[in-house]
Amino acid sequence: MPARRLLSPRAPRRVATVSVHTSPLDQPGAGDAGGMNVYIVEVSRRLAARGIAVDVFTRATSSDLPPVVEMSPGVTVRHVSAGPFEGLGKEELPGQLCAFTAGVLREEAQHEPGHYDVVHSHYWLSGQVGWLARDRWSVPLIHTAHTLAKVKNAALADGDRPEPRARVIGEEQVVAEADRLVANTEEEARQLVDHYGADPRRTLVVPPGVDLDRFRPGDRAAARRALGVPADAVVLTFVGRIQPLKAPDLLLEAAARMLGDDPALRDRLEVHVVGAPSGSGLEAPRRLEELAVRLGIADRVRLLPPQTPDRLALHYRAADVAVVPSHNESFGLVALEAQACGTPVVAADVGGLSTAVDDGVSGVLVGSRDPAAYAAAIRAVLARRPLLSAGARRHASAFSWERTADALVAAYASAAAEMAAGAAPVRRERALGALRPVAGTQVAW
């Protein structure tokens, strides 16, 4: 953990972090747990290292869960009972927001007024809760969307369900109410302004980070021995939840194309898929296995469960190329983690991936959904791997969770100062109306 830092006079003492639908204690790569979980865990730990206490409110999904868990020193996870513990899908959670909000407000009511200095909500469901807590406690609301319904609906995978209108309306309301909107990239900031009418003056760009101590270059041969991978294998690795949005099928199709173009590669090629079915992927949990059989590459594909962070670093080091073919990503932490390990990335040229990957320096961005284009990009990376590997590590080293936490603390402090001075912007009843240009959004670092 980073060394404890002295607080500035305006830094908050305690942050209420709201994550309704997924807990920072969950294993990323399965269910609803993914990059957002990693974000909350890493940021919370670094805020605590600065002497800022963090309470993370999340919905209890089992009667066996204790009400309070110390995740790490200074970071407390509070399980709020709201609806049935199990069998409740994310799409059903809006009906439990009243119960969840009551649990959050009751916890604060046990303390003296001013117990929390700021609310930071993650995802739109949490934003609805944070909005009410902000008004009740008279503290600023900082909101990070992580994904946006309008953006997802514009880039749906075949057969995937669009996000419901209720979510769109909920996001519009949160955007209108938040004191600060934290976007992962300038592209996401533009999306908030262009699609949701966000006020650029309240919209900050704060890139996520990567744990450069855990995800670092290492002995590739040793990593392969630890994973049982032949030393001369050509390893293509996908890490993430198995669902249409993440498009692991595109990697399998590209691998089949590579074998069709070069049959001699068959004895060496390995495709590693690390993750578990999630979201709409649960409707056909064996779809990827069946696709591998149809493509004739089942013997070249290894389907692996979600991994612990240390084990995941081994998979990145063992890989020749990490492939991130998502239809959309607000950022793409997997791409950053792989590059931090010195593994170049082939990724879709969408959303935050165009920031997470430095095209031609740390990997290759692909602007097509054609498997042949991915096969060509993978071959290009393999041909230049030593150079791209060095570029990958350099690019990843520009991102750190320490810098992310510093920028968030500054956002908390400035929002609190505005609120104290009575200078918070006038809010609209609805997040609809004239859209503003993106000019004026702030890049926090």
Does residue 65 have a pLDDT over 80? Answer: yes
Structure tokens at 71: 């995740």
Does residue 205 have a pLDDT over 70? Answer: yes
The three state secondary structure string of the chain is: CCCCCCCCCCCCCEEEEECCCCCCCCCCCCCCCCHHHHHHHHHHHHHHHCCCEEEEEEECCCCCCCCEEEEECCEEEEEECCCCCCCCCHHHHHHHHHHHHHHHHHHHHCCCCCCCCEEEEECHHHHHHHHHHHHHHCCCEEEECCCCHHHHHCCCCCCCCCCCHHHHHHHHHHHHHCCEEEECCHHHHHHHHHHHCCCHHHEEECCCCCCCCCCCCCCHHHHHHHHCCCCCCEEEEEECCECHHHCHHHHHHHHHHHHHHCHHHCCCEEEEEECCECHHHHHCCCHHHHHHHHHCCHHHEEEECCCCHHHHHHHHHHCCEEEECCCCCCCCHHHHHHHHCCCCEEEECCCCHHHHCCECCCEEEECCCCHHHHHHHHHHHHHCHHHHHHHHHHHHCCCCHHHHHHHHHHHHHHHHHHHHCCCCCCCCCCCCCCCCCCCCCEECC
In a domain, 444, yes or no: no
CA–centroid distance for 256 within its chain = 29
Q: Residue 431: what pLDDT? A: 37
In a domain, 279, yes or no: yes
Do 325 and 251 lie in one domain? The reply is yes
Does 191 count as an annotated binding residue? no
Do 163 and 224 lie in one domain? The reply is no
Q: Cβ-count burial of 204 within 10 angstroms (0-12 exposed, 13-18 middle, 19+ buried)?
A: buried
Q: Is residue 78 within 8 Å of residue 70, measured between CB atoms?
A: no
Do 236 and 358 lie in one domain? The reply is yes
Q: Residue 360: what pLDDT? A: 97
Q: Residue 260: what pLDDT? A: 96
In a domain, 4, yes or no: no
Do 62 and 133 lie in one domain? The reply is yes
Does 320 count as an annotated binding residue? no
Does 35 count as an annotated binding residue? yes
- What's the pLDDT tens digit per position in 276-293? 886 655 555 689 999 999
Do 379 and 412 lie in one domain? The reply is no
Mean pLDDT of 325-341: 95
- What's the pLDDT tens digit per position in 8-20? 447 899 999 999 9
Do 269 and 408 lie in one domain? The reply is no
In a domain, 196, yes or no: yes
Candidate from 24-38, 47-61, 182-196, 417-431 with smallest mean pLDDT: 417-431
Do 202 and 286 lie in one domain? The reply is no
Does 413 count as an annotated binding residue? no
In a domain, 434, yes or no: no
Does 158 count as an annotated binding residue? no
**Which residue would you say has higher pLDDT here, 65 or 280?**
65
Q: Residue 1: what pLDDT? A: 42
Q: Is residue 397 within 8 Å of residue 340, measured between CB atoms?
A: yes
In a domain, 390, yes or no: yes
Do 146 and 273 lie in one domain? The reply is no
Does residue 427 have a pLDDT over 70? Answer: no
Does 11 count as an annotated binding residue? no
**Which residue would you say has higher pLDDT here, 29 or 69?**
69
In a domain, 445, yes or no: no
Does residue 85 have a pLDDT over 90? Answer: no
Q: Residue 283: what pLDDT? A: 58
Does residue 138 have a pLDDT over 60? Answer: yes
Q: How confident is the model at residue 170 (pLDDT cuts 50, 70, 90)?
A: very high
Q: How confident is the model at residue 400 (pLDDT cuts 50, 70, 90)?
A: very high
Q: Residue 186: what pLDDT? A: 95
Instruction: Give residue for tokens 């607000």.
Output: 330
Q: How confident is the model at residue 57 (pLDDT cuts 50, 70, 90)?
A: very high
Does 155 count as an annotated binding residue? no
Q: Residue 155: what pLDDT? A: 83
The Cα 132–Cα 143 span in angstroms is 13
Does 150 count as an annotated binding residue? no
Q: Residue 285: what pLDDT? A: 67
Does 147 count as an annotated binding residue? yes
Q: Which CATH number is 181's domain given?
A: 3.40.50.2000
What's the total number of domains in the chain?
2
Residue range of the domain that includes 104:
14-209+401-418
- What's the pLDDT tens digit per position in 372-383? 999 999 999 999
Q: How confident is the model at residue 428 (pLDDT cuts 50, 70, 90)?
A: very low
Q: How confident is the model at residue 426 (pLDDT cuts 50, 70, 90)?
A: very low
Average pLDDT for the chain: 90
Candidate from 5-9, 163-167, 191-195 with smallest mean pLDDT: 5-9
Q: How confident is the model at residue 201 (pLDDT cuts 50, 70, 90)?
A: very high
The Cα 143–Cα 91 span in angstroms is 20
Q: Is residue 56 within 8 Å of residue 26, measured between CB atoms?
A: no
Does residue 92 have a pLDDT over 90? Answer: no
Does 36 count as an annotated binding residue? yes
Does residue 390 have a pLDDT over 80? Answer: yes
Does 369 count as an annotated binding residue? no
Give me Rg for the CA atoms of the chain.
22
Do 231 and 144 lie in one domain? The reply is no
CA–centroid distance for 134 within its chain = 24
Do 151 and 298 lie in one domain? The reply is no
Instruction: Give residue for tokens 């200078």.
Output: 423
Does 123 count as an annotated binding residue? yes
Q: Note the pTM of the prediction, 2 decimals.
A: 0.89
Does 241 count as an annotated binding residue? yes
Does 385 count as an annotated binding residue? no
Q: Residue 436: what pLDDT? A: 37
Q: Residue 442: what pLDDT? A: 63
**Spatial CB neighbours of 81, under 8 Å, sequence gap ≥ 6:** 59, 60, 99, 103
Do 319 and 388 lie in one domain? The reply is yes
Do 230 and 200 lie in one domain? The reply is no
Mean pLDDT of 114-137: 97
Does 130 count as an annotated binding residue? no
Q: Residue 9: what pLDDT? A: 44
In a domain, 7, yes or no: no
Does 406 count as an annotated binding residue? no
Mean pLDDT of 184-205: 96
Mean pLDDT of 135-144: 97
Residue 405 vs residues 14, 155, 208, 410: alpha-carbon distances, Å: 14, 31, 9, 9
Does 116 count as an annotated binding residue? no
Instruction: Give residue for tokens 């702030």.
Output: 442
Q: Residue 141: what pLDDT? A: 98
Q: Residue 145: what pLDDT? A: 96
Q: Residue 429: what pLDDT? A: 39
Does residue 7 have a pLDDT over 90? Answer: no
Q: Residue 199: what pLDDT? A: 97
